[in-house]
Amino acid sequence: MFVRRDPEAAIGRIYEAATDASRWVDALDTCAVVLDARAMLLVYGDLSAGAPRILDAVGFRQSSIEAYGSAKLMSDELIRESMNGSAGVIVSSGRSFRGRKFWKTDTYRDLLEPSGLTHIAGAAALSTPEAYASIWMARADGSPDFSVHDLHVYMELLPHVARAMTVHHRIRHAELRAEMAVGAFDRFAVGIVLVDMRGMPVMVNREANRINNEHDGFAILDDGFAAADSNETKTLRSLIQKVGWVGPTGERTGGGAVRLTRPSGHPNYHVVVLPLPRRCQPVGVEGAIEVLFITDTEKSSGPVDHLFGDLYGLTDAEIRLVSELLVGGGLTAAAEKLGLSRNTVHSQLSSVFQKTGTNRQSELLRLLLSGVAPVEPPDVTSGYDISVVKPPTNRH
């Protein structure tokens, strides 16, 4: 039998876990000792990012936790009751659900019984439109149900769990927003590098990584950014260093642009350096947090053909024609490349003009270049690449 200890030991572990989620196992183990419980379960959800999930658990059979967490958690009667009620209201097998009613719950059949447990009690520590967190304690078959004193000790711990989970939620929410921002930046066909006050990169998107890995005129080194030409390196670093500094007239320098030659002979990279908005800048210091935009002028702007077709209802054949015109070879070259007669491509082009409200190729290309964001298709590991990379083929 567990020996009940001072709740202060559990409280200390709970606050350690607030900023380090890997410590929740220790915190739950200590809570189990303090509460004379066989098992503990912590459920958390940033509701802006989806349904709650099991953050950590101790004392349960691992296979039961995995099956219950993936299939039954959100249909669990006890979890739903705690979510629908106020924070701090106890939900338990001995009070909220009794006898046969409890034995029919997903909690008992899928979580407790496979782990040799019978009694469970818990409450929501957080229950807001933005976040939900609850902590549960369970006892083995043959053990007494949780007493009034047990619940009193549990309620001593609950406010500390609430504070710790509030901190955890804020950290996780900030991390999630940062991950979402990086994911959004990775969709741009322009290289994007976020630069700190020291002129060092703190975030590099997928296109900037590709350009860096080409080793062809732009590099991200341990000591900063570099070009193939030493003078261009000095120019680029000087530009980055000067952004945000106060000039003679009292105005902060607002960035600039530089071209970087490529040893391969391909067209220059265009690099634009700009400070982030004032709200993103530290107060009362020289310099600025800034962003680099690196354009490979030779590179296509992503799946523009497919997206342009979606915008204007173009057929697959019309999309292929527009893609060839975008390359710049003209109508005759497009007809040869596609293996079509000039009459056919003229007919297709007339249809494209009508659908897009344009009259000349120059108008069409201007619309094409400005009408779709310069985006990249999802990468092959994202799980979302097929529908973009392989558009429907039922249009002719």
pLDDT tens for 210-227 read: 999 999 999 999 989 999
Higher pLDDT, 205 or 373: 205
Confidence of residue 27 (pLDDT cuts 50, 70, 90): very high
pLDDT at 295 over 80: yes
Confidence of residue 154 (pLDDT cuts 50, 70, 90): very high
Domains of the chain are: 7-181 (3.30.450.40), 191-296 (3.30.450.20), 304-389 (1.10.10.10)
Count Cβ atoms within 10 A of the Cβ of residue 237 and give its class: 0-12 exposed, 13-18 middle, 19 or more buried: middle
pLDDT score recorded for residue 385: 53
Region of poorest pLDDT, from 93-107, 259-273, 349-363:
93-107
Give the model confidence (pLDDT) of 386-396 as tens digits.
Answer: 444 444 444 44
pLDDT score recorded for residue 391: 45
Give me the chain's average pLDDT, please.
86
Q: At residue 107, what is the residue type?
A: T
pLDDT at 72 over 80: yes
| CA-to-CA separations, 132 to 46, 152, 162, in angstroms, rounded | 7, 22, 10
For range 96-120, the mean pLDDT: 82
Largest CA distance in the chain: 90
The 3-class secondary structure across the chain, one letter per residue, is CCCCCCHHHHHHHHHHHHCCHHHHHHHHHHHHHHCCCCEEEEEEEECCCCCCEEEEEECCCHHHHHHHHHHHHHHCHHHHHHHHCCCCCCEECCCCCCHHHHHCCHHHHHHHHHHCEEEEEEEEEEECCCEEEEEEEEEECCCCCCCHHHHHHHHHHHHHHHHHHHHHHHHHHHHHHHHHHHHHHCCECCEEEEECCCCCEEEECHHHHHHHHHCCCEEEECCEEEECCHHHHHHHHHHHHHCCCECCCCCECCCEEEEECCCCCCCCEEEEEEECCHHHCCCCCCCCCEEEEEEECCCCCCCHHHHHHHHHCCCHHHHHHHHHHHHCCHHHHHHHHHCCCHHHHHHHHHHHHHHHCCCCHHHHHHHHHHHCCCECCCCCCCCCCHHHHCCCCCCC
Yes or no: say if 382 and 372 are a contact pair by the CB < 8 Å rule.
Answer: no
pLDDT score recorded for residue 253: 72
pLDDT score recorded for residue 28: 97
Q: At residue 294, what is the residue type?
A: I
d(CA 365, CA 373): 14
Give the model confidence (pLDDT) of 231-253 as tens digits.
Answer: 999 999 999 988 877 666 656 67
Q: At residue 188, what is the residue type?
A: F
Yes or no: say if 337 and 324 are a contact pair by the CB < 8 Å rule.
Answer: yes
